[in-house]
Amino acid sequence: MGNKQSDQLLKESLFDKYNRNLCLLAKEIPSLNLDTEKYYCPLCFVPYHKDAIYGPNSLLTLEHIIPQNSGGKLCTLTCKNVIMI
């Protein structure tokens, strides 16, 4: 991706953006019992606190939605727990 500083800003932006959407969803469908303080990994649905985007060994990393070598530019946050096939 970009440099470390721009990657970190993108991670914060994505976390906050998806958290706002999560809050809207939680309000509309309370029976989902969503933790609105967290971000749910789109691949495994494990919730992570914002701390997970910080540090050299952060648990949430930036990943291209469509592989970069196929021209993909959009990124999202996914956790390191997912083993890509």
Instruction: Report the interface residues with Zn ion, using CB under 5 A.
Output: 41, 43-44, 79, 81-82
* Residue whose C-beta lies closest to Zn ion: 41
Nearest CA to 18 among 40, 1, 35?
A: 40
Our CB check for Zn ion shows the closer of 43 and 62 to be 43
C-beta of 74: minimal distance to Zn ion in Å? Answer: 18
Nearest CA to 4 among 61, 50, 59, 76?
A: 61
**What 3-state DSSP class applies to 3?**
coil
C-beta of 39: minimal distance to Zn ion in Å? Answer: 10
